[in-house]
């Protein structure tokens, strides 16, 4: 059941990659900007928003570079959809960007992008970035 549309977004963030990585890869970091609370047990992360919970499986991570999750609801449906947050540093300018890859239903892509805009805006506030 992979009928969702893949989309990618890029956000320039003025913060060190190692600091950003702490905020995208740890439950305490993710609790600061992504969800109200985040718990993890091994590869299973529980994200809590306004009392509702969503569980995701950590598919892969590369220290200082990226994290990749799949929602358990998608996993149970046999979906290969995921969301990934990747730190990219420009070799020449040393500008740091966050690359977000996610999937959404065709009619929900704009809404999903707005949600990511808001989430990354929260992350920038936490990091003291513009």
Q: Is the pLDDT confidence value at 72 over 80?
A: yes
- Quick: pLDDT tens for 19-43: 999 999 999 999 999 999 999 999 9
- Quick: pLDDT tens for 44-67: 999 999 989 999 999 999 999 999
- Please report whether residue 130 resides in a domain: no
- Please report whether residue 53 resides in a domain: yes
Beta strands in 34-75 (DSSP E): 37-41, 44-49, 52-62, 66-71
* DSSP element (H, E) containing 36: none
Lowest mean pLDDT among 47-51, 73-77, 106-110: 73-77
pTM of the predicted protein model: 0.92
Enclosing domain of residue 34: 5-125
- Please report whether residue 27 resides in a domain: yes
CATH code at position 84:
3.30.530.20
What is the tally of structural domains in the chain? 1
């Amino acid at each position: 059941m992979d009928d969702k549309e893949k989309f990618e977004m890029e956000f320039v963030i003025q913060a060190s990659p190692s600091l950003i990585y702490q905020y995208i890869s740890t439950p305490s970091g993710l609790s600061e900007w992504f969800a109200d609370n985040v718990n993890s047990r091994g590869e299973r992360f529980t994200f809590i928003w306004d009392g509702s919970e969503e569980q995701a499986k950590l598919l892969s991570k590369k220290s200082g570079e990226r994290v990749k999750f799949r929602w358990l609801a998608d996993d149970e449906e046999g979906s290969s959809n995921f969301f990934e947050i990747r730190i990219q540093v420009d070799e020449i300018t040393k500008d740091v960007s966050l690359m977000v890859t996610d999937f959404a239903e065709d009619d929900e892509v704009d809404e999903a992008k707005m949600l990511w805009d808001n989430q990354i805006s929260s992350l920038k506030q936490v990091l003291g970035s513009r």
